[in-house]
Amino acid sequence: MSESYWFRQRRYGLGAFPANWKGWAFIGAYVVLLTGVMSWLTADTHDRHAHPLAAVGISIAMTIVFVYVCWIKTEGGWRWRWGDDDRR
């Protein structure tokens, strides 16, 4: 079974971008979940109070997991790239 990568390395700089629908779906799920959790935790309704510190902690944890999954699902790994001349 071949390994399926969701992201490809960038040509310049550090990081990756989606290589197929799974990468785009993962980014979309992250944005929707993060937005939902932040809206729920920062809403000050009549039956509960807002929890901004919990929102910050959860957003940091979600972002760490997001970056880790992107890193392990990137073809070629992450490192600084200089374009086509990648020998610097």
**DSSP string for the chain:** -PPPPSEEE-SEES-EEE-SHHHHHHHHHHHHHHHHHHHHHH--BTTB---HHHHHHHHHHHHHHHHHHHHHTEET----EETT----
**Banded pLDDT at 72 (limits 50, 70, 90):** very high
Token pair listed for 28 = 């979309």
* The pairing of beta strand 81-82 with beta strand 74-75: unpaired
pLDDT tens, 9-59?
888 888 899 999 999 999 999 999 999 988 887 777 666 676 778 888 999
pLDDT of amino acid 33: 95
Residue-range domain boundaries for the chain: 1-10+27-77
